[in-house]
Structure 1
Amino acid sequence: MEWKKLPVPLSELCLSSVLRCGQSFRWKSSGNDEWSCALSGRILSLKQDPTHLYYRAVFPSSAVVMKEEDNIKNEHGIKHENGVIVDDTVELIRDYFNLSVNLTELYEKWSSRDPHFKKKAPAFTGIRMLRQDPWENLVSFICSSNNNISRIGQMVENLCITFGTPLGQLGETPYYDFPPPSQLTPASVEGKLRNLGFGYRAKYIHQTAQIVAARGEDWLHGLRYVPYREAHEALLELQGVGPKVADCVCLMSLDKKESVPVDTHVWQIAMRDYKFGKGKHKSLTKATYLAIGDHFRELWGEEAGWAHSVRASIGFYRFYEWNADNLRLNRSYLQRT
């Protein structure tokens, strides 16, 4: 299949940074500077040059609608008109990467407010927040508890292989759609997840799937249209969801740009670079967590979560080491995070 292209400069989107920085865990290197993922019922492949984003999509053979009069979405969520696939890949890409947001303008805004950002961010342009499916995003971050990026990715991959719908292959690599909540509600699911190495997270995923399935997937998507605090509190009702996971989901799939996920790394940045608390906050309590988020929201404005993602990524990429052929992740750092 031929590559198609969109005009997207590296300053607005840097694939290698965005797809590796811990937002989504299912993108795979599928060639020279090429990334692929099973997304919305298709296998989507991406690559880029300094001025354009290149894409191509492979749809499963089962995507064909049998009845020509049906103008619907099939079980993969793929649009059809009169039995013919409607290729909405451009629409999907624009939505998934939040391309309606002008990142260059935001970098300028944050730099004008924050000398630390102005000094360090120019070397890390093109880092933007994804707009993921809330259900996939939620389950992925339940898996993130006391975990590292490599293992989270392996767990999510095993979840898709075991419970998801196969979409096809690229070369020798199979791709599977992310399973909907209904696939994870049966009583046998928790045991299967434990056998896959999910540990205590198996119970959380199973119970949360039951809650979301009972409320309907529209409930999760509906949180995009309520205020940040309301969405955050609603997510805390789910099993395995604490304040940080709730903020990650708010930021990465529910359009809450002001959401600031806080962990010990972010807390250390706040104290070291921004003199947060001046020694008043001795531990990362609930009050400290909220205060750090408010501190950055006051500093960076309504897109504080986006700015936070850039600052966090700057710290993250310090632990990468370059060699002549590829980028190798420092495993000792991952074990600590």
Structure 2
Amino acid sequence: MTYYQQPDFNTYPDKNKKRLKQVAVLILILLIAGYSAFRLGSAFNTIEVNNETTFWQKFVSILSFNTAEPIDKNYVMPNKEENRFDILLLGIRGEDGPDAKDAGPLLADTIMVVSYDKISKKASLVSLPRDLYVKIKKNKNDKINTAYEYGVYGGGGLNFTKELISKITGVYIDKAVVINFSSFEKIIDEIGGIDIALAKPFEESGQWGYEFKLPAGVNHLNGQNALYYARSRYSSSDFDRSRRQQQVIFAIKDKLANLNFWSNPVKTITALNTLRGNIDTDLNIWNTGDLLNMAKEINDSAKITKHVISTENLVYESRENNAYILLPVGDNFDQIKNFFKNLNQEITAPSPTP
């Protein structure tokens, strides 16, 4: 006997199944293409002039659906260290500088880090070259002396610069002081000038509109002459200028020590507040303990060392878009970070890699 089998209306013929699969695949392809086109359009609308990412790199990154920016190991924010106190010092031209209009009032001519180790009780002063080429922000590289300008105009303020220097040096910058050169002159004039000892005569004939000269021996400089001596670079180099800037900083330190200025950190903060209009700093009364300890060690010349990062040790010369720049040896900041990490321990000058 033959029985009639009821058909299953919940199933489709194989032909229909095949069509459905084809439609599903087509829809998926269209969704991916549409999403990619949207992402690609958005990406190109935000490309900056200095972005060196190629079209295919961007296309592959879009199709990966990975929106998170990869971590750049060169720019990792270090943790704060309880046994260190690091202060960033920046010297900028300021609005009333003689070359501010042409060169930029917020560009830094002086970039220094004062590092104090609370255990070894040693301190160091390190000058960073202003032409060091770094990643200022995503897809934007520039010289390090533009960092403060980017921070001010970009809304990050002083913290933007502190974080960038922290990432480059590998040490947490606790506080920062930014001073324009007119304030620099005022400070030196207010303490009665400084004394600079020269082993040989110094001359700068092309920068200040007249021939600026200092003879060998001890020179007593007022604010303007000290500024000219510290900023002159046409007759030498930026690295030599960094050494002269350190010499002026130490001359100011010696004069303040003679005036017992360091014995009263409250007076130091008061002086900074007096010049507040020309100084940007996040130092406050709560930092007086660290400042007092640092000042005691700074007064002991045997416990503080001076270093200049230059082409003789940790950077090398290059060019970018026909502009002179400096790049870190090894094309990463590992050696610079290692140098800063070991500051005030068994202190040695930075040396180049063979």
1 or 2, which has the higher helix percentage?
1
TM category (shorter chain) comes to under 0.3
TM-score, length of structure 1 as denominator length: 0.25
Relative contact order higher in (CA < 8 Å, ≥ 6 apart)? 2
TM-score, length of structure 2 as denominator length: 0.24
1 or 2, which has the higher strand percentage?
2
Give the structure with higher Rg (CA). Answer: 2
